[in-house]
Amino acid sequence: MRRLPELWGVLNVTPDSFSDGGRYFDVAAACARVRELVALGADVIDVGGESTRPPGTTYGEGYADVDVQEELRRVLPAIEAAVADGARVSIDTTKLEVARHALDAGASIVNFVGERASDELLALVAEEGATIVLMHNVGRGQVVSVEASPAEMAREVEASLLREAQRAEGFGIPGEHIYLDPGIGFAKTAVQSAGLLGSLRSLVRTGYPILVGASRKSFIGELAREPNGARPAPSERLGGSIAAAIAAARAGARAVRVHDVRETRQALLVWAKITEGEGE
């Protein structure tokens, strides 16, 4: 059977995430969700204490900034619970001090979702022997270029991520510990996001492990509207999310970040069996 991508189960410990804000904000609920994700087959628990929901007509003003102490209050109990259950843990953050405390608590991956990782963060990851995810993101509420074709966008994303990956290696982080994330839905139109998935094989060929986070993203709602023209709510985008996960797996992505672990795992297992003779 072909190699399947790692499943990174999303755990948003926030009141305002676009998909499940508030559902796991309570410590007990978050810890229970950790155990559930592990039981469902998540390879990594990706814990986030600050929403990255985009501004716009769907989500209003977008996410609210959270200070370091509040973010730590949200994420540390969930990280400790996941580590206690033997899970690999990723901290989804933009803040150096949050990353530092998360690594101290047992996380082994920093999923950096900001514009550019600081020298201090890269040095920390290298010193701790941790893994870092570098995501393509040009800034809050920005779009790289609405005129850029999907092919142009893919070239820009790949060039930008390669520069940052090489910079990270300069701090002593091994290439195998540098995941690249094309930033589906971050500062990109729906068509551009779909195009990035379609051209993902080029990014895979760079040799760095690739993480794709397309689950429940707004581009799915835009591209797959209901018969009456309405955009499906985030919780109603499972079909599109699974399609994106299969596209990522087909291209050779190392990992997919998903909300629906059981359903995605099931779909990938069946897809892999159906296509095992294709030799891709």
Asked if the structure places residue 280 within a domain, the reply is no
* Structure confidence at residue 118 (pLDDT): 97
| Tokens 């990014």 found at | 203
Report residue 165 as tokens.
């990956």
On whether residue 145 sits in a domain, the answer given is yes
Is residue 136 included in any domain, yes or no?
A: yes
Question: pTM for this one?
Answer: 0.90
Structural domain includes residue 202: yes
Q: Which domain holds residue 136?
A: 6-274
Structure tokens at 103: 């690594």
> What's the rounded Cα separation, in Å, for the pair 187 and 202?
20
The helix/strand/coil state of 255 is strand
Give the per-residue pLDDT at 60.
44
What residues have CB less than 8 Å from 170, skipping those under 6 apart? none
pLDDT, one tens digit for every residue, the chain (280 residues): 678 999 999 999 987 554 555 565 678 888 899 999 999 999 999 999 987 655 444 444 445 688 999 999 999 999 999 999 999 999 999 999 999 999 999 999 999 999 999 999 999 999 999 999 999 997 655 555 677 898 999 999 999 999 999 999 999 999 999 999 999 999 899 999 999 999 999 999 999 999 999 999 999 999 999 999 999 999 999 999 999 999 999 999 999 999 999 999 999 999 999 998 775 5
DSSP string computed for 119-133:
HHHHHHHHHHT-EEE
**What is the signed CA dihedral for 130, 155, 248, 163, rounded to 10 degrees?**
-10
23 is a domain residue: yes
The reply to whether 156 falls in a domain is yes
Task: Give me the CATH number covering residue 26.
Answer: 3.20.20.20
- How many whole angstroms separate alpha carbon 262 and alpha carbon 258? 10
How many residues belong to the chain? Answer: 280
- Is 263 part of any domain? yes
At 23 the pLDDT is 61
Name the domain count of the chain.
1
Evaluate whether residue 279 is within a structural domain. Answer: no
Catalytic (active-site) positions: 217, 257
